[in-house]
Amino acid sequence: MVDKKTEGLAGIQAGETAICTVSAEGHELRYRGYSIQELAGGASFEEVAYLLIHGELPTSSVLEDYRNRLKSFRELPSALKLVLENIPKTAHPMDVLRTGCSMLGTLEPEGKTRDHFAIADRLLSAFPSMLAYWFRFWKEGKRIALNSGDASLAGHFLHSLQGGSVEEARRQMLEVSLVLYAEHEFNASTFAARVTASTLTDFYSAITSAIGTLRGSLHGGANEEAMALISRFRSPDEAEKEIKVMLSKKEKIMGFGHRVYKECDPRSDIIKKWARELSKKAGDTVIYPVAERIEAVMWREKRLFPNVDFYSAPAYHFCDIRTDLFTPLFVMARITGWAAHVIEQRANNKLIRPAATYIGPSARAFVPLQKRG
Ligand code: ACO
């Protein structure tokens, strides 16, 4: 019998990592030893990406080179643009990134001239471009240029997605959000990437597995579900009443709870501040108060706290980002963590292949089709 406590591999040490620590008590998240509060408060997303993938923070000259390198990778091959133009308007943008990643793997395969560091940088720059290109093609019938000139990936994405100049508060929020979403130890999508990498397959296959895993509503998809939930209510009182009904029916409230954290998600307060600030700027009197009331009810009724996804949803919403683009934003950030883990897995590889407890029928004799009637 599998122990209920370890179902879903909960609490199982499935390997070693030098990339990230997540404390079960909920007070600490560190990337390569640096606290998330310090990184979110003082480092750009590009610095964090470099830290995760290369192991140390860059010096200013290394960072400048890194930014320039990432900028040079923003353009997409025309064959990939053609594929993006053929993905239906109705497709989920996560499927766009999954397909785009796979297609890029056929055009620029891993090999002697392209190692995993080069592909990590390429995907980091190409994901925002893929998303914006596909989105604007279907929304406006435009084939947008992908050379926005913005120094940061966050600015480049907002500029490419929305056109015109980028509001500084929005750019800063997105930068912080990308830092918060960049890495989280052996979460489901990262573990999927490591399992895939452990077969010695190529880098793109590992990342494609990870994107598919992140898409689900129990993982990255929760930010979209949280927005759908918050937008259902016209007032905090209505939210309180309905959330209580949902809880009485044992329904899951998306954006709450966590497999590892038991008291709080240290990323939540950081993004909550941005959600509050952007709500004020937008003159909102419903969305943010509703979100805060849901938080209060969840704590009072279930002792459950918001995870990073809950307040990311209104923060993105106030940047006029369409809800189905929320989980893809997570991909744009988490590609850094996935890349770091694939590289780490390869450095000391062992095929990941657990065992299972068999609960099916006991041994029985095969009966040929003719005798089965
Ligand atoms: N709403 C209501 N009840 C919840 C919630 C929730 N969001 N989360 C946990 N619970 C309850 C469960 O119903 C269960 O109650 P029970 O013991 O009475 O049956 C208990 O808390 C334990 O929940 P599990 O789902 O078994 O805990 P697990 O560790 O497997 O789940 C998970 C963690 C999947 C994140 C869960 O909290 C959940 O489904 N949350 C909503 C989805 C979500 O927000 N996902 C994002 C996670 S963070 C990220 O990926 C960035």
Chain segment 356-365, per-residue pLDDT in tens: 999 999 999 9
Percentage of residues in the chain having pLDDT higher than 70: 99
Catalytic residue among 121, 265, 309, 341: 309
- pLDDT at position 26 is 60
Catalytic residue among 258, 265, 317, 341: 258
Decide if 161 contacts 107 (C-beta within 8 A): no
Q: How confident is the model at residue 41 (pLDDT cuts 50, 70, 90)?
A: very high
Long-range contacts at 280-289 (CB < 8 A, ≥ 24 apart)? 281/169, 281/318, 282/318, 284/318, 286/233, 286/234, 286/235, 287/230, 287/231, 287/314, 287/317, 287/318, 288/314, 289/235, 289/236
Closest-CA residue, ligand 1 atom 28, reads 259
Please state, rounded to an integer, the average pLDDT across all residues of the chain. Answer: 96
- pLDDT at position 3 is 81
219 is catalytic: yes
Asked if the model's pLDDT at residue 209 lies above 80, the reply is yes
- pLDDT at position 214 is 97
**Arithmetic mean of pLDDT, 203-228:** 96
Q: How confident is the model at residue 71 (pLDDT cuts 50, 70, 90)?
A: very high
CA neighbor of 279 nearest in space, from 264, 290, 293: 290
Dihedral of the CA atoms 174, 176, 178, 180 (nearest 10)? -140
Give all domains of the chain, ordered by start, each with its CATH number. 18-216+328-347 (1.10.580.10), 222-317 (1.10.230.10)
What DSSP line would sit under 314-327, residue for residue?
HHHHTTT--GGGHH
Atom of ligand 1 nearest to the CA of 251: 2
Asked if the model's pLDDT at residue 2 lies above 80, the reply is no
pLDDT per position as a tens digit, 118-135? 999 999 999 999 999 999
DSSP state of 24: T
SS3 call for 110: coil
pTM for the structure as a whole: 0.96
Which tokens is 223 given?
């930010």
Closest-CA residue, ligand 1 atom 32, reads 258
Region of poorest pLDDT, from 143-152, 241-250, 327-336: 143-152
- pLDDT at position 147 is 85
Who has greater pLDDT, 96 or 8?
96
Long-range contacts at 2-7 (CB < 8 A, ≥ 24 apart)? 2/357
- pLDDT at position 5 is 84
CB atoms within 10 A of CB 8: 10
Decide if 83 contacts 63 (C-beta within 8 A): no
Distance 296 CA to ligand 1 centre (A): 17
Decide if 125 contacts 73 (C-beta within 8 A): yes
156 is catalytic: no
Which ranges of the chain does DSSP label H, i.e. alpha helix?
36-42, 45-54, 60-72, 78-86, 93-107, 116-140, 153-162, 168-181, 188-197, 203-214, 222-231, 236-248, 268-282, 287-302, 308-317, 326-347, 369-372
Decide if 176 contacts 154 (C-beta within 8 A): no
Distance 258 CA to ligand 1 centre (A): 6
92 is catalytic: no
Which tokens is 259 given?
């497999």
Residues within a 6 A CB radius of ligand 1:
8, 218-220, 222, 252-259, 302, 304, 307-309
Asked if the model's pLDDT at residue 283 lies above 70, the reply is yes
**Arithmetic mean of pLDDT, 339-367:** 96
Q: How confident is the model at residue 106 (pLDDT cuts 50, 70, 90)?
A: very high
Q: How confident is the model at residue 337 (pLDDT cuts 50, 70, 90)?
A: very high
Taking the alpha carbons at both ends of the chain, their separation in whole angstroms is 36
